Amino acid sequence: MTDSASDRRRPPSPTHRHAVSYIDKSREYYSAHGYEQPYRWATNTDAPFTPLAAPLSSATVGLVTTSSRFADHGDGPADEPKRVYAAPTDPAPERMFTMDLSWDKQATNTDDVETFLPIRRLRELEADGRIGRLADRFYGVPTEYSQRRTAEDAVAIEAWCREDDVDVVLLVPL
């Protein structure tokens, strides 16, 4: 059995499922780092989830990712320290910085940006009339693992969504 990079990128067998319990992995991670309290998942019971006021076929769709943009000068992230950002959807980025995030780097990769920032696919849905249009910007919330910071970043994302007349937001965390 080989253990080359190409072998690790092969998709799992269609006859076997390989699920990752992110809740368990997060609890184990925090416990291994000496935290006495298990990780508490953020909740927001006051979130204003409501039916769309108009059909999705006429809605402006916003897109939120947890990945970062690449710096223009190299292979690192564009923003240090990590901070919330808005970036144009046209042209769609060819790559995003994801190596600082926790995902199973042996079982998969993030070479296909469409798997976590589906701008081109949303453009296809727009062309087919399934959505009204994709917003001119997508929004990035690089992972900080802080509930306080998440709440602060949400305010900025909401403001940008209002500026861009977004009706519905697709959250695609990595």
Q: What is the CA radius of gyration of the chain?
A: 18
Q: What is the mean pLDDT of residues 141-170?
A: 87
Annotate 67-106 with b (16+ C-beta within 10 A) or e (fewer). bbbbeeeeeebbeeebebbbeebeebbeebbbeebeeeee
Pairwise pLDDT comparison (11 vs 24), residue with the higher score:
24
pLDDT at 29: 83
pLDDT band (50, 70, 90) for residue 1:
very low
Q: What is the mean pLDDT of residues 138-165?
A: 86
- Sequence-separated (6 or more) residues with CB below 8 Å from residue 120: 92, 114
Pairwise pLDDT comparison (66 vs 100), residue with the higher score:
66
pLDDT at 2 over 80: no
Q: What is the mean pLDDT of residues 12-32?
A: 74
pLDDT at 9 over 50: yes
Q: Give the DSSP letter of residue 11.
A: P
